[in-house]
Structure 1
Amino acid sequence: MRFELLEEHRGEIGPIKKACGLMKVSKSGFYEHLGRKKPNAQIGREALEGFVVEAFHRHKGRYGYRRINREPRKSGIAVSEKRVLRIMQKLGLAGKGATRKHRIQKKVEPGDPRLNLAERAFSVGGRNRLRAGGIACMPASEGRFYLAAVIDAFSRKAVGRSMSERITEKVAIDAIGQAVGREGPPDDGSLVFHDDQGAQHASRSFQRCLDSHGITRSASRPGTPLDNAVAESFSKTLKRELAEERDYGTRDEAEQDIFKHIEPYCNRMRMHSALGYMSPVEYERQYA
């Protein structure tokens, strides 16, 4: 241990003879130490630590130990989650984790007109069967603006989005329009769109938009965000990993940054635990 410490700070103490005297080690022993090769176990530990640090910063601190653990597995290197966790704790690395809140679900009273076709069954067997949407408020120095997103429940891919300074039904309709133009609805009319019963999604114009594309609407029960977990998770992750660490000067700047984050990163690179730690595009290629 003294030899390692002396090797690390050898230029800070003075002549090597003086440094060895202060550390109470022999000069010949120190030079013998320099000629030794590092044990394979130490080389492996240092290599893994370097990989963890590189992966953590490459994803800008958004990944916790579970997702970072999946990175070496892509190259055929098996590493336990506990080992990655210990390394991150040792190096003081902590992903931007979410604080989970457990809420009591409200009971559905007799005669309630709510129609929930999804029933929290978001694991579907293919694309274009179930999509979830919501509207999130995003901050900017010029004032807040609103992001409407449409997520395919099969791959968790953001297939449609729209941003506006005003929270109206138009921002929700534009997001649906982009999703239809990009992915297209199935010919048999089996596509369901699930939302949280917001005023924009409950409007007549939005319902007419769904009808024109042959899409059936499903809605969450009031006060139960878990009914729309796919869209809620997307919005919460976007705010935590992007908006909270930025100080946008203008809305245009924010819109461009959000576009770059969703398309190249969230859809093509970011691993999702619900997808077996694959990205949406990777998951679609493998299972579609």
Structure 2
Amino acid sequence: MKDGKLPKRQYTEEFKAEAVRLAASVGGLEAARRLGVPVATVGNWSRRGVASSGPGGGPAPGEAPARRPVSELEAENSRLRRELAEAKLDVEILRKGDGVLRQSVAMKYAWIDKHRDQYPVNRLCRVLGVSRSGYCQWRVRPPSSRALANQALDAEVAAIDQASRRSYGRPRIVQRLRQQGQMVGAERVRKRLRRQGLRPVYRRPFVVSTDSAHPLPVAANLLDRRFDGWQPDQAWVADITYVPTGEGWLYLAAVMDLAGRRIVGWSMSEAIDASLVCAALKSAWWQRKPDKGLLVHTDRGSQYASGRYRALAGDLDITMSMSRRANAWDNAPMESFFKTLKVERIYQVRYETRAQARLDIVDWIEGWDNRQRLHSANGLLAPVAWENACLAA
């Protein structure tokens, strides 16, 4: 960005196609808001584009009929079956109320009241170890102001958890509540999360997938893990990852601005070659129009060491930097981004087609990660909000 002014943005044909698919999925106005482009521009693209989607469904199971006893042996068998069914019912209640057993009596009463239409109240009280008379008194007793405040906080915490796609833990939820004007403590939020059984999605271990065993020339490690302290469009990092679909692998190349951790360019393809990384770099350069001498750091994979990519970097007056051999920490911000993308989104769904994966990934990157997700590297600000604050300053 030059002199604090936003440059005239250009978009790749791939970006336009994914914008059209997103508009067909969520509407032109919402797609324009998520992607950060004028709604009229999305409308112009939509008049020349197409999108696709697909449905799903499933059957419901039935119940086996009970047998009528006709002899003493069958009567005994029927009695044992009834006792077994009651025992299974107790186990089902215990399984559903596992977290409630360690809570206060009032919390147990609340859980019983929530499930009183599914199970007999006498059985619920017996299984949870509380008296039925105490529960009946609790029902007619008005809730305290603290209980009402906790109920309201439960709803707000659950809403933030849902809006974050189950990616926020306690620190980010506390920060979001404080941004909304709620001065709450971390311990109180932890109790709300634990009471509702809300946990962030599981994080899988990191796996190295870059093959740098090639004879192509590699650049020196000029970035040298200096990930912080950059101004916008001074230093970018880039990398490639893979996404499984029902049609095979879909490869994603992305470019991140280290200043605000914003994804400034991306490209997706069925093939993992130099064309993929060149398209991602062009996408970023067209949108941002950085000054000369931009530093772009990558791993030393064959795609980034190819003659085509090096020629493109030379044409754009870009200074290349590459990680050391088998050292993923030299490109840690991009590795962290791909891990977050996979853990918080890709591992939570199953893509039947590459087109479905493209649409969902574009929506996650442009609509969520760039504009809404709180980034710890930005002081828990979204990348676009951080850039706006930087420009205003």
CA contact 1:49–1:87 (8 Å) conserved in 2? yes
Q: Which moved more, 1:94-103 or 1:74-83?
A: 94-103
Hey, what does 2:193 align to over in structure 1? 88
Q: 1:83 deviation in Å?
A: 2.5
Partners of 1:10 and 1:116 lie apart in 2 by 64
Match of 1:257 in 2: 360
1:120 aligns with 2:225: yes
What does residue 192 of structure 1 align with? Answer: 295
Q: Does 1:244 align with 2:347?
A: yes
User: By how many angstroms is 1:235 displaced?
Assistant: 1.1
Q: Which residue matches 2:244?
A: 139
Tell me which moved more, 191-200 or 81-90: 81-90
Aligned ranges 1:17-166 → 2 under 5 Å: 23-24=132-133, 30=137, 36-98=141-203, 115-166=220-271
Q: Distance in 2 between matches of 1:24 and 1:231?
A: 59
In 1, Cα distance between the equivalents of 2:345 and 2:329? 22
Q: Which of 237-246 and 84-93 deviates more? A: 84-93
- Deviation of the 1:125 alpha carbon: 3.3
Unaligned runs of 5+ in 1: 15-21, 104-112
Match of 2:374 in 1: 271
1:9-56 Cα shifts (integer Å, max 9, x gaps): 777769xxxxxxx724598xx3xx666542222122111111111111
1:274 and 1:160 mapped to 2: Cα distance? 19
SS at match of 1:144: strand
How far, CA to CA, are the matches of 2:170 and 2:302 in structure 1? 39
Letter matched to residue 193 of structure 2: M
Distance 2:243 2:133 in 1: 60
Report the Cα offset of residue 223 of structure 1. Answer: 1.3
The change in CA–CA distance for 1:280 and 1:8 in structure 2 (over 3 A counts) is: closer
Tell me the number of residue pairs that the alignment of Structure 1 and Structure 2 aligns.
267
Which structure 2 residue ranges, 5 or more long, are not aligned? 1-104, 122-130, 209-217
Contact 2:371–2:383, Cα closer than 8 Å, also in 1: yes
Query: Could you tell me how far apart the structure 1 residues matched to 2:249 and 2:287 are?
Result: 27
1:284 equivalent in structure 2:
387
- Alpha-carbon RMSD across the aligned residues, in angstroms, is 2.7
Residue type matched to 1:276 in 2? G
Output the TM-score relative to the length of structure 2.
Answer: 0.62
CA-CA distance at 1:185 after TM superposition: 1.6
Q: 1:82 to 1:225 in 2, by over 3 A?
A: farther
Task: State TM-score, norm by structure 1.
Answer: 0.84
Q: Judge conservation of contact 2:206–2:339 (CA < 8 Å) in 1.
A: no
Radius of gyration: which is bigger? 2
Report the residue type matching 1:266 in the other structure.
D
The answer as to 2:327 corresponding to 1:218 is no
- Hey, what's the Cα distance between the residues in 1 that align with 2:248 and 2:205? 28
Letter in 1 for 2:295: V
Instruction: Rate the CA distance shift 1:26–1:89 in 2: closer, same or farther, 3 A.
Output: closer
- More RCO (CA 8 Å, sep 6+): 2
Partners of 2:207 and 2:253 in 1: CA distance: 25
When structure 1 is superposed on structure 2, of 278-287 and 72-81 the one drifting more is: 72-81
